[in-house]
């Protein structure tokens, strides 16, 4: 059986004249067919050999998503070069730390300033070449395609650096066998989603390729008949989605929650009649969804679909089958909101160390809001101490680059210790409840996972951008709330939430921060997770002030 790269090359050769990739720009669209992509790949392979790279060498790849990025990635893998994808918006010091760890022979950049920033931060930086240099040696002949260099199942394909919610990022090594297995699973799920259609999948993509799940989506599209449209401007996402008119695309919860807030905010400014219809239709849908509705609820839902829901769904184009969401738990209320609009949100759970995926919702089954689906075929999942999720299977990475002690710590007895806490129901459907190392320990000795409380508060304060709970070594919990939020709304939410919680999980104080946590200010990871240690350190004064007000 050919490995994933041989399959991709064969797929591209068989569909030579089919459109496979598009880039959306404000001034137009860049398109390539399969044969044109292969020609770029062959040009890049020739450059790689001239540059003196040999199988097993590392090459860093730095730039936003583009057709050129895809071509160079395929070229490097075809020559058995280990690809180290880096995030183009990350601070130069962090990028240099990663490169010092893996020691790439070459840095390939999309533009000169990225390479200059790395060189300024590291005097011994490797040689930097631009994408245009790698691809600009003259177009290769598309009818002469050299097969990828053969590889073993345990050969390394890539080193992807984790986002590092605490501590320094580590390089996750992924093998041919890891990727082979995951692509077989994604192909199965996408076949189930798309059914018997003979048209190529229409896929939109905006998440950076240096994320494991994002990269796997790109490889999945190249492995099957798909037309993958790449976003080039996050400020134009709404327009780009309409232009792409996708069947599906992957998301992070932050984006879906922003869409929901935007819709609800826009409706709040409409006339009283439309606001009333939306409120009644939403309440009716929620009753029907749990089997408690009546005839009049059905009438309200139908009216809502005609006047509101269908118009919101239409913004995603006429071809949408589902949205896919991963990287962090999605608030159940947000998943229900999209389901009400007629848009299923299929959740995926996984880590870079599991090649991006452990569980996936089955598109043939009703989704369970708040849960992330069942384990993918061929892998095992169970709960260990402190409800930690343990994973075993061909998707689990062989280890961290240059960190043998850390590898031994997380790979014990053949099981990968995820650090995530979870639970599983009788249907085998998993729910992620928190992170072990994020547990807050009050001075009373109570252990509290912050995520469930934060999630409930986000539901009650939809205008909040983020919510962060603090309380380690203190007598009770307090919260930092970011965004354009009225303190009275936060207090009202706490007045609703606290009576239903045990005393030690109640939030007794809060502070509103106008500035959100972002990647740029170092308080979010590149895939949108809270950097809890950094937040606690940055806002030590604000947190201390909350306890001083309450006398704790």
Say whether both 258 and 124 belong to one domain: no
Say whether both 184 and 232 belong to one domain: yes
Mean pLDDT of 170-188: 96
Alpha-carbon torsion (132, 136, 142, 143), positive or negative: negative
432 in any annotated domain: yes
d(CA 465, CA 257): 9
307 in any annotated domain: no
290 in any annotated domain: no
Percent of the chain with pLDDT over 70: 96
pLDDT of 549 above 60: yes
Are 296 and 223 within 8 A, CB to CB? no
Say whether both 268 and 179 belong to one domain: no
Say whether both 220 and 367 belong to one domain: no
pLDDT tier at 141, thresholds 50, 70, 90 = low
Structural domain boundaries enclosing 390: 253-279+314-319+322-436
Query: For residue 384, what are its two tokens?
Result: 């260990």
* Average pLDDT value over all residues in the chain: 91
Please say which residue of 400, 421, 436 terminates a domain.
436
pLDDT of 163 above 70: no
d(CA 329, CA 421): 12
Local structure of residue 432 (DSSP, 8 states): E
pLDDT for the residue 331: 82
pLDDT of 377 above 90: yes
Long-range contacts of 94-100 (CB under 8 A, 24+ apart): 94/169, 95/62, 95/121, 96/121, 96/122, 96/125, 97/168, 97/169, 98/60, 98/161, 98/169, 98/171, 99/60, 99/125, 99/126
pLDDT for the residue 137: 55
Higher pLDDT, 167 or 80: 80
Q: Is 63 left (phi over 0), alpha (psi -120 to 50) or beta?
A: left
pLDDT of 400 above 80: yes
CB count in 10 Å sphere of residue 27: 4
Helix, strand counts (H, E) of the chain: 19, 26
pLDDT tier at 167, thresholds 50, 70, 90 = low
Say whether both 352 and 460 belong to one domain: no
375 in any annotated domain: yes
Say whether both 257 and 239 belong to one domain: no
pLDDT of 552 above 50: no
Are 327 and 529 within 8 A, CB to CB? yes
Please say which residue of 373, 404, 436 terminates a domain.
436
pLDDT tier at 165, thresholds 50, 70, 90 = very low
Say whether both 16 and 73 belong to one domain: yes
pLDDT tier at 223, thresholds 50, 70, 90 = very high
Strand order in the sheet with 359-360: 250-251, 323-325, 345-349, 359-360, 374-375
100 in any annotated domain: yes
470-487, pLDDT tens digit by residue?
A: 998 788 899 999 999 999
Q: Which of 452, 482, 548, 504 is nearest to 490 (CA)?
A: 482
Are 357 and 376 within 8 A, CB to CB? yes
Q: Which of 113, 109, 23 is nearest to 66 (CA)?
A: 23
pLDDT for the residue 349: 94
pLDDT of 92 above 90: no
Mean pLDDT of 55-75: 97
Say whether both 226 and 261 belong to one domain: no
Local structure of residue 499 (DSSP, 8 states): G
Residues with Cβ within 8 Å of 461's Cβ and at least 6 positions away in sequence, in order, are 467, 481, 485, 489, 490, 493
Mean pLDDT of 428-457: 84
Mean pLDDT of 220-227: 96
Are 381 and 358 within 8 A, CB to CB? yes
Radius of gyration of the chain (CA): 24
DSSP string, 361-428: --TTS---TT---EEPTT-EEEE-GGGEEEEESTTS-SEETT-HHHHHHHEETTEEEEEEEEEE-TT-
443-464, pLDDT tens digit by residue?
A: 766 778 888 899 889 889 988 9
pLDDT for the residue 388: 94
pLDDT of 142 above 60: no
The CATH number covering residue 235 comes to 3.40.50.12780
pLDDT of 250 above 50: yes
d(CA 401, CA 236): 37
301-343, pLDDT tens digit by residue?
A: 999 999 999 999 999 999 999 999 988 778 888 999 999 999 9
pLDDT tier at 500, thresholds 50, 70, 90 = confident
Query: For residue 141, what are its two tokens?
Result: 């002949």
pLDDT tier at 1, thresholds 50, 70, 90 = low
Q: Please, what is the angle between helix 4-14 and helix 212-223, to 10°?
A: 40
Say whether both 503 and 450 belong to one domain: yes
Please say which residue of 200, 228, 248 terminates a domain.
248
pLDDT for the residue 330: 83
Q: Which of 57, 55, 67, 65 is nearest to 86 (CA)?
A: 65
Say whether both 213 and 266 belong to one domain: no
129 in any annotated domain: yes
295 in any annotated domain: no
284 in any annotated domain: no
What is the longest distance spanned by two Cα atoms in the chain? 76
Say whether both 215 and 332 belong to one domain: no
Say whether both 77 and 187 belong to one domain: yes
pLDDT for the residue 231: 96
192-209, pLDDT tens digit by residue?
A: 999 888 899 999 999 999
First to last CA, the chain: 64
248 phi and psi angles, rounded to 5 deg: -165, 160
Q: Total domain count for the chain? A: 3
Quote the pTM value.
Answer: 0.85
Burial classification of residue 266, based on how many CB atoms lie within 10 Å of its CB (0-12 exposed, 13-18 middle, 19 or more buried): exposed
Are 358 and 391 within 8 A, CB to CB? yes
């Amino acid at each position: 059986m050919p490995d994933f790269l041989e399959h991709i090359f064969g797929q591209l050769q068989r569909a030579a004249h089919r459109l496979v990739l598009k880039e959306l720009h404000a001034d137009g669209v860049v398109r390539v067919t399969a044969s044109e992509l292969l020609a770029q790949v062959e040009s890049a392979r020739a450059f790689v050999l001239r540059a003196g790279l040999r199988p097993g060498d590392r090459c860093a790849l730095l730039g936003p998503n583009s057709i050129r990025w895809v071509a160079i990635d395929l070229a490097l893998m075809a020559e058995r070069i280990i690809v180290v994808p880096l995030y183009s918006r990350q601070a130069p010091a962090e990028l240099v730390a990663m490169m010092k760890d893996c020691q790439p022979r070459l840095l390939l950049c999309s533009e000169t300033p990225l390479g200059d920033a790395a060189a300024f931060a590291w005097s011994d930086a490797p040689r930097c070449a631009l994408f245009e240099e790698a691809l600009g040696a003259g177009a290769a002949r598309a009818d002469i395609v050299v097969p990828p260099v053969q590889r073993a199942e345990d050969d390394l394909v890539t080193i992807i650096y984790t986002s590092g919610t605490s501590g320094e990022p580590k390089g996750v090594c992924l093998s041919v066998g890891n990727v082979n297995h995951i692509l077989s699973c994604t192909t199965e799920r996408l076949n189930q989603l798309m059914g018997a259609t003979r048209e190529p999948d229409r896929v939109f993509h905006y998440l950076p390729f240096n994320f494991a799940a994002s990269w796997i989506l790109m490889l999945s599209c190249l492995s099957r008949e798909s037309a993958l449209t790449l976003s080039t401007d996050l400020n134009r996402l709404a327009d780009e989605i309409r232009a792409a008119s996708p069947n599906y695309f992957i998301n992070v919860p932050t984006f879906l929650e922003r869409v929901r807030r935007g819709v609800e905010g826009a409706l709040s400014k409409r006339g009283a009649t439309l606001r009333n219809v939306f409120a009644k239709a939403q309440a009716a849908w929620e009753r029907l969804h749990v089997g408690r509705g009546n005839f009049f609820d059905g009438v309200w839902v139908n009216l809502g679909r005609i006047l509101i829901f269908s118009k919101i769904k239409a913004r995603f184009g006429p071809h949408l089958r589902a949205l896919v969401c991963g990287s962090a738990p999605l608030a159940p209320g947000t998943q229900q909101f999209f389901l009400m609009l007629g848009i299923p949100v299929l959740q995926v759970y996984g880590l870079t160390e599991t090649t991006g995926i452990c569980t996936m919702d089955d598109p043939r089954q009703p989704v369970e809001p708040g849960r992330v689906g069942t384990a993918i075929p061929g892998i095992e999942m169970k709960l260990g101490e402190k409800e930690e999720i343990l994973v075993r299977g061909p998707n689990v990475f062989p280890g961290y680059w240059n960190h043998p002690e850390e590898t031994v710590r997380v790979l014990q007895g053949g099981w990968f210790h995820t650090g995530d806490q979870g639970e599983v129901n009788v249907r085998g459907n998993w729910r992620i409840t928190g992170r072990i190392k994020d547990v807050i320990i009050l001075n009373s000795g109570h252990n509290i996972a912050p995520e469930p409380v934060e999630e409930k508060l986000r539901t009650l304060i939809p205008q909040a951008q983020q919510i962060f709970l603090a309380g380690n070594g203190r007598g009770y919990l307090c919260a930092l709330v970011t965004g354009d939020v009225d303190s009275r709304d936060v207090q009202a939410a706490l007045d609703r939430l606290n009576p239903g919680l045990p005393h030690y999980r109640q939030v007794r104080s809060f502070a509103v921060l106008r500035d959100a946590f972002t990647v740029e200010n170092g308080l979010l990871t590149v895939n949108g997770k809270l950097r809890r240690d950094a937040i606690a350190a940055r806002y030590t004064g604000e947190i201390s002030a909350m306890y001083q007000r309450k006398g704790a």
